[in-house]
Amino acid sequence: MAENQFPSTVDALFKGMDHFITSKTVVGEPVKVDENTTIIPLVDVTCGMAAGSFAQSAKTNGGGGMSAKMSPSAILVIQNGMTKLVNIKHQDAVTKVLDMVPDIVNRFTGGNDITPDAAAKAEKMAAEMEKEK
């Protein structure tokens, strides 16, 4: 009877996974907009894997597969020592309120906000990332 090759199939499937998923797939490369502004894209990564093996009297069959999906989720804008998270994905009401909290606090405390130019560039970058999906 043929020996089941499932362990070797799974080993082959998972070998090298440390090279497949890196920190760059979660936090993108920083983009310097000007001397005071840096934009960092944040990306959601979803991975799926499957493996299977079947041994019959004279034959052994095995197979495996892997898939990955990357989609932009937000852009982090760093300007003059302040940060702002610009969500790209569809938001629910709670997320929108949480995004507004820093802006409301800045209005009462007189804190600096992200310049309109940097916000426009972040929105443009988000739109380009959406097109690439």
Per-residue HEC secondary structure of the chain comes to: CCCCCHHHHHHHHHCCHHHHCCHHHCECCCEEEECCEEEEEEEEEEEEEEEEEEECCCCEEEEEEEEEEEEEEEEEEEECCEEEEEECCCCCHHHHHHHHHHHHHHHHHCCCCCCHHHHHHHHHHHHHHHHHC
User: What does the alpha-carbon distance between residue 39 and residue 30 come to, in Å, rounded to a whole number?
Assistant: 6
Provide the mean pLDDT of the chain.
Answer: 73
Global model pTM greater than 0.85:
no
In this predicted structure, what is the pLDDT of residue 22? 55
Look at residue 59 and tell me whether its pLDDT is greater than 80. Answer: no
Specify the pLDDT at position 29: 85
Q: In this prediction, what percent of the chain has a pLDDT beyond 70?
A: 63
Report pLDDT for 1: 44
Please provide the distance, in angstroms rounded to a whole number, between the alpha carbons at the two ends of the chain.
48
- Higher pLDDT pick, 41 / 50: 41
Annotated domain spans of the chain: 6-132
What pLDDT was estimated at residue 90? 66
* Token reading at 116: 């309109």
Residue among 98, 102, 101, 126 at smallest CA distance from 114: 102
pLDDT tens per residue across span 73-101: 888 888 888 888 878 776 666 666 666 56
- What pLDDT sits at residue 116? 74
